[in-house]
């Protein structure tokens, strides 16, 4: 590649993050890694942490009861090892992407909890020592801060399944950091307050919990102004925080993102990275897909897209440059990674 490539001319995101002790990660797909070598080259170069986008979800690893398919998860772990990256495990207990045999199996509550515990034991056990952190329970809350009804919540007649899951994860992997993860908890609101209260209560009860993942799927122009203040609440309560699934989706009213929208998106990414760097205790930022090539956004939010750092051709967008500039400024270096005299 040419030297005037703006990505290659500068320091990588992972190197700038390393200078500040911040993991800089991306969610990736094992199939794209396999099929698209340039995609893998960017993952290796730019990120110090990876999260499998789907490969560790229950439906992926046990599509048929008792028949496990670890291929995608194993490939992710192998890639990380080869490129000196940590892996964030995502996710052990979630109401989505569950195997049909579980959701339609007519199991009783106690059976569901037993199956959940066995699943956690099998998966977290298999990757014990290989995964730096687990999103043990994903998306346990409704927007108003009440507990989300799910097969697990129903099985335990309330949120007790969360403690059960955390205990099971700790037994299976004594070293992984154990997280609860959710969306729309970036600002101070009913849902983020409920998350803080839950994490605090669990810790008081002696349940193993280390951190809270703030997904950070935001809409263009809507980064909450109290983001850093909110992260600080969690850190002050003794929890590690990670921004686990960052993307900034753009309403594509004109078919594609306009230069003005891309500039606004860059400012949003900078704000998000600023918020994470403002609080000691925020250990990492992970983007949910780093390229518009394989983003989940167009399917999940029709009419939205262009949510990532690189475009579909793996070229840097203003968002990439703003992220790099923000990391560099906080690391006390210029964008090529050189410390001024």
Interface residues with ligand XIL (CB under 6 A)? Answer: 53-54, 138, 215, 245, 296
Q: How far apart are CA 153 and CA 158, in angstroms?
A: 5
**Set 46, 139, 186, 240: catalytic member:** 139
Concerning whether 153 is annotated as a catalytic residue, the answer is no
Nearest of 12, 4, 13, 20 to residue 332 by alpha carbon:
20
Q: Which two tokens stand for residue 161?
A: 């399944």
Q: What is the DSSP letter of 318?
A: H
Instruction: Tell me the C-alpha to C-alpha distance, in Å, between residue 153 and each of 141, 156, 175, 203.
Output: 11, 5, 26, 20
Q: Which of 245, 256, 274, 335 is catalytic?
A: 245
For residues 89 and 208, which CB has a smaller minimum distance to ligand XIL in the complex? 89
Instruction: Find the shortest distance in angstroms from Cβ 217 to ligand XIL.
Output: 6
How far apart are CB 10 and ligand XIL at their closest, in Å? 27
User: Which 3 state secondary structure label does DSSP give 64?
Assistant: strand
Length of the chain: 341
- 12 versus 150: smaller Cβ distance to ligand XIL: 150
Q: Indicate the residue among 15 and 249 with the shorter CB distance to ligand XIL.
A: 249
**Minimum CB separation from ligand XIL for residue 135, in Å?**
7
Least distance between ligand XIL and beta carbon 48 (Å): 20
Residues 6+ apart with CB under 8 A from 76: 28, 30, 33, 50, 52, 55, 56, 87
Of 310 and 333, which CB lies nearer to ligand XIL in the complex structure?
Answer: 310
Q: How far is it, in rounded angstroms, from Cα 158 to Cα 147?
A: 7
Minimal distance, residue 138 CB to ligand XIL, in Å: 5
Of the pair 54, 193, the CB lying nearest ligand XIL is at 54
123 is catalytic: no
CA dihedral sign of residues 287, 288, 292, 294: positive
List, by residue number, the catalytic residues: 139, 245
């Amino acid at each position: 590649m040419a030297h005037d490539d703006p990505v290659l001319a500068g320091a990588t995101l992972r190197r700038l993050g390393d200078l500040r002790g911040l993991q800089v990660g991306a969610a990736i797909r094992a199939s794209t890694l396999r099929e698209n070598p340039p995609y893998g080259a960017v993952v290796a170069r730019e990120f110090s942490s990876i999260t499998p986008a789907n490969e560790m979800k229950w439906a992926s690893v046990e599509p048929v009861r008792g028949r496990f398919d670890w291929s995608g998860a194993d490939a992710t772990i192998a890639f990380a090892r080869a490129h000196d990256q940590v892996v964030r495990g995502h996710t052990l207990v979630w109401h989505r992407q569950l195997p049909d045999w579980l959701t339609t199996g007519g199991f009783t509550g106690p059976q569901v909890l037993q199956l959940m515990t066995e699943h956690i034991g099998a998966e977290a056990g298999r990757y014990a020592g290989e995964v730096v952190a687990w999103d043990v329970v994903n998306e346990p809350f409704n927007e108003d801060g009440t507990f989300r009804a799910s097969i697990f919540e129903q099985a335990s007649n309330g949120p007790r399944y969360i403690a059960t899951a955390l205990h099971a994860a700790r037994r299976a992997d004594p070293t992984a950091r154990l997280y609860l993860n959710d969306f729309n908890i970036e600002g101070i609101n009913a849902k983020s307050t409920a998350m803080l209260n839950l994490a605090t209560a669990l810790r008081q009860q002696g349940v193993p919990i280390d951190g809270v993942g703030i997904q950070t799927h935001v809409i263009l122009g809507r980064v909450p102004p109290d983001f850093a203040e909110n992260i600080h609440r969690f850190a002050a309560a003794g929890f590690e925080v990670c921004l686990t699934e960052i993307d900034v989706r753009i309403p594509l009213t004109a078919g594609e993102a306009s230069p003005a929208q891309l500039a606004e998106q860059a400012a949003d990414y900078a704000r998000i990275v600023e918020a994470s760097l403002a609080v000691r205790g925020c250990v990492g930022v992970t983007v949910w897909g780093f390229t518009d090539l394989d983003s989940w956004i167009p399917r999940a939010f029709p009419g939205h897209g262009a949510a990532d750092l690189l475009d579909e051709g793996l070229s840097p967008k203003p968002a990439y440059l703003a992220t790099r500039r923000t990391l560099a400024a906080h690391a006390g270096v210029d964008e090529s990674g050189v410390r001024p005299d």
